[in-house]
Amino acid sequence: MVFPIAKKEFLTNLLSARFVIGFVLCLVLIPFSILINIDEYRERMSLHMIDADAAEKAVKEVRVYSALRPTVVLPPEPLSIFSKGISAQVGNKVGVRLGEKPLLAEGRAATRDNPFLASFFSVDFVDIAAIIFSLLAFLFSYDAFTREKEDGTLRLQMANSLGRSQLLAGKVLGVLATLLPVLFFCFLLGAVIILASGNLAFTAHEWGRLALLAGVSLLYLAVFVFIGLLVSARTKTPVTGLVLCLFLWVFFVFIIPHLSSYLAESFVPVQSRENLDRVLDDLDQATLRKIAEGEKALPAPDWFMSWYMNGGDDGRRELYGCTASYFEWERRRAMMAEPLRIDNADQKWGAQSAYLDSLSRQSRAADRLAMLSPAGIFRIIASAVCGTDRRAHVSALADIRRYRETFLRYLQEKDIFDKFTYFTPAPPSSFKNADRLVEARTGGRFKTLREYDAWAEKQTDWGVRWEVLRKVKIPGDQPEDFPFLDISDMPRSAKRPVSLTEGLQASLLQVGLLAVLGVFLFYLGYIAFIRFDVR
């Protein structure tokens, strides 16, 4: 008896105008969201290529180890086309440095060329699906009982030997049978657009995760159908049911997501970034002071002169054409300073991780509040399945911090801070003392540094002082005299492969919640319908 009813429901729904308009709505909105997000993904991908090339070039074209600081460039997640999660807000580049552990990624793709565009929001497939599926579910269920009651057909049906549970099961099946093709059509449309837009290649893995997303969407759809049936069983006229459903729709789908983030931001404050920067700056200053003290304890070189110097942040010092004792001074300096800076990074991490935790805490609070709405739960699951949620990003950052440790071990195993190759590619056998260097550079005009200094002091024009030193070029006083480092043994960071169900496992609680909610609502609807006055 259930199936004839389901069939009848299905056919009436299929022929109704609301089905046509709902279908057209899907037909317009789904391609709209997919196309916009493919465009965004492509842009992120092309920026990723640029950044990855630049990062690769930056590690390949170094001549000293103090300049070797890899940058990890996170690839965009293909499934971000379906659910962006937080991927548009976080950056894609993380520099690996000795003096600081990476905190957050830099370089947000969306606003790189024009930061004002950050004030424009954008929706993805899951946002649209959350809006459309819930709306359709309500549209086909808000008057499930009340309309038939008004028409008088409900009384007629109940006059037959038909159980109320059978009728309810028939209704549920009928509505789901109407919506199921729409849902799968939406996913199919998305898949077709992905396939049609050439250079996007999804792996079997990604298709699998997309199928999981479709399954979760079905659950989401069912929850709204049950809410609609419950409303219909508890109201007297279709108009009342409609108004109630529309308000529930706006409340669940539009208001709660904004409300949850806003309330989380007001009531679960994050630590002040300015404060963190100040704490980090203080620690950096203290370390710099320690290094300066250490420098004072070092024996002074005979000549503080570097023919070519390339300095930079994070301990980068590239020196050419110095005296042997200056090189030795630099070597001892690096031996003293670099471990201090690595310690400093560990010390700074306390404050940094507290800040990072406060960001996560706020976001978790927002998630919990959003779980008041099935749409919020659906979005959380979707971003987890698509690998674009907070958890995925935080664990990617943790991976990079682990990679930093690997990289540090790589440097330490080479005892690199004790070696000249940390700051100059010149072999120690070529080092000269100050007198020999002055003699060679001036072509024998001055035999010692003292002679040169005595002469130089009398020169008012500073340019002349340098001109005489330029007379003879000494091999090895320019970077171009040396090849790039061979860094083929440097460990590389690899993105951890994500298993098919990892996102689902991470959001198992939410999936369970959605399922329990569905069952509970169905039960409520059942009870309400049992008590429904069919006259």
Partner 1 sequence: MLRTILKREILHNLYSLRFALSLALVLGVFIAGSSSFVRKSTTIRATYRETQAQAREAMRKDAAANATQLAVNRRTFALSPRDNAFIVDAKEKYLPNAVVFSAWNVFSFENRSGSVNPFLTKYDELNWAFIVGLILSFVAFLFTFDAVSGEKEARTLALALSNQVSRAALLMGKYLSAVISVLTILVLGLTVSLLDLLLSGGAEWSATLAAETAGFLLAAALLAATLAAFGLLASVAARNSNISLLLALSFWLLFVVVIPNSSAFIAKNLYPIDKVEAVQSRVNKAFADLDKAAPPGSWMMNMSFPFTPQHELRANLQRKRLEAEKSIRDAYYRAMFRQFERTRLLTAVSPVAAFEFLAEAVGGAGYPRFRKVWDDLHVYQGQSLEFFKAFDARDPKSPHWYNPREDVSTTRLPVSFETVPQFTEKPMSFSERARPAVVYLIMAVLLTCLVYLLSFFLFVRYDVR
Alpha-carbon span 16 to 395, nearest angstrom: 48
Q: Is residue 473 within the footprint of partner 1 (CB under 8 A)? A: no
β-pairing verdict for 317-320 and 308-311: antiparallel
Nearest approach, Cβ of 448 to partner 1 (angstroms)? 23
Q: How far is CA 271 from the centre of its chain?
A: 20
Nearest approach, Cβ of 87 to partner 1 (angstroms)? 10
Residue type, 310: N
Nearest approach, Cβ of 350 to partner 1 (angstroms)? 18
Q: Which of 62, 229, 244, 342 binds partner 1 (CB under 8 A)?
A: 244
Q: Is residue 114 within the footprint of partner 1 (CB under 8 A)? A: yes
Fill in the per-residue mask, 393 to 432: x = in contact with partner 1 (CB under 8 A), - = not in contact. xx--------------------------------------
CA dihedral 167, 171, 173, 176 (to 10 degrees): -170
What is the full DSSP assignment across 122-179? ---HHHHHHHHHHHHHHHHHTTTTHHHHHHTHHHHHHHSS--HHHHHHHHHHHHHHHH
Closest CA to 15 of 134, 138, 140: 140
Q: Which stretch binds partner 1 (CB under 8 A): 15-23, 214-222, 346-354, 497-505?
A: 15-23
Number of other residues whose CB lies within 10 A of the CB of residue 114: 8
Angle (nearest 5°) at CA 182 between 177 and 184: 95
Q: Which is nearer to partner 1, 270 or 340 (CB)?
A: 270
Q: Which is nearer to partner 1, 275 or 505 (CB)?
A: 275
Coil/strand/helix, residue 106: strand
Would you state the structure tokens that stand for residue 230, as one six-digit string?
Answer: 């419950």
Cβ burial, residue 14 (10 Å; 0-12/13-18/19+) = middle
Angle (nearest 5°) at CA 436 between 430 and 440: 85
Residues 515-534 that bind partner 1 (CB under 8 A): none
Closest CA to 6 of 166, 189, 220: 166
Coil/strand/helix, residue 310: strand
Residues 181-240 that bind partner 1 (CB under 8 A): 239-240
Is residue 236 a contact partner of residue 146, using CB atoms and an 8 Å limit?
A: yes
Residue type, 497: P
Q: Which stretch binds partner 1 (CB under 8 A): 153-161, 253-261, 301-309, 510-518?
A: 253-261
Nearest approach, Cβ of 248 to partner 1 (angstroms)? 10
Fill in the per-residue mask, 49 to 88: x = in contact with partner 1 (CB under 8 A), - = not in contact. -x---------------------------------xxx-x
Number of residues lying near partner 1 (CB under 8 A): 80
Nearest approach, Cβ of 269 to partner 1 (angstroms)? 6
Closest CA to 375 of 136, 127, 22, 184: 127
Nearest approach, Cβ of 132 to partner 1 (angstroms)? 9
Q: Which of 218, 219, 359, 408 binds partner 1 (CB under 8 A)?
A: 359
Residues 119-148 that bind partner 1 (CB under 8 A): 119-123, 128, 131, 135, 139
Q: Which stretch binds partner 1 (CB under 8 A): 11-19, 317-325, 438-446, 451-459?
A: 11-19
Alpha-carbon span 308 to 66, nearest angstrom: 15
Q: Which of 36, 180, 219, 515 binds partner 1 (CB under 8 A)?
A: 36
Q: Which of 1, 11, 32, 313 binds partner 1 (CB under 8 A)?
A: 32
Q: Is residue 297 within the footprint of partner 1 (CB under 8 A)? A: no
Nearest approach, Cβ of 376 to partner 1 (angstroms)? 11
Cα four-point dihedral sign 404, 408, 413, 419: positive
Q: Which is nearer to partner 1, 203 or 266 (CB)?
A: 266
Q: Which is nearer to partner 1, 33 or 493 (CB)?
A: 33
Which one-letter DSSP state was computed for residue 321?
S
List all residues 6 or more positions away from 117 whose beta carbon is below 8 Å from its beta carbon.
110, 111
Nearest approach, Cβ of 468 to partner 1 (angstroms)? 14
Q: Which of 71, 362, 493, 507 binds partner 1 (CB under 8 A)?
A: 362
Phi, psi of 106 (to 5 degrees): -110, 165
Coil/strand/helix, residue 16: coil
Q: Which stretch binds partner 1 (CB under 8 A): 24-32, 94-102, 307-315, 501-509?
A: 24-32
Residues 255-274 that bind partner 1 (CB under 8 A): 255, 257-259, 261-267, 269-270, 272-274
Q: How far lies 504's CA from each of 316, 385, 386, in Å? A: 44, 5, 9
Fill in the per-residue mask, 364 to 393: x = in contact with partner 1 (CB under 8 A), - = not in contact. --x-----------------------x--x
Q: Is residue 104 within the footprint of partner 1 (CB under 8 A)? A: yes
Nearest approach, Cβ of 188 to partner 1 (angstroms)? 21
Residues 449-468 that bind partner 1 (CB under 8 A): 460-463
What is the full DSSP assignment across 185-207? HHHHHHHHHHHHSTT----HHHH
Q: Is residue 17 within the footprint of partner 1 (CB under 8 A)? A: yes
Q: Which of 157, 197, 360, 433 binds partner 1 (CB under 8 A)?
A: 360
Nearest approach, Cβ of 368 to partner 1 (angstroms)? 13
Nearest approach, Cβ of 166 to partner 1 (angstroms)? 27
Cα four-point dihedral sign 395, 85, 120, 372: negative
List all residues 6 or more positions away from 287 whose beta carbon is below 8 Å from its beta carbon.
99, 340, 341, 343, 344
Q: Which is nearer to partner 1, 387 or 518 (CB)?
A: 387
Q: Which is nearer to partner 1, 32 or 484 (CB)?
A: 32
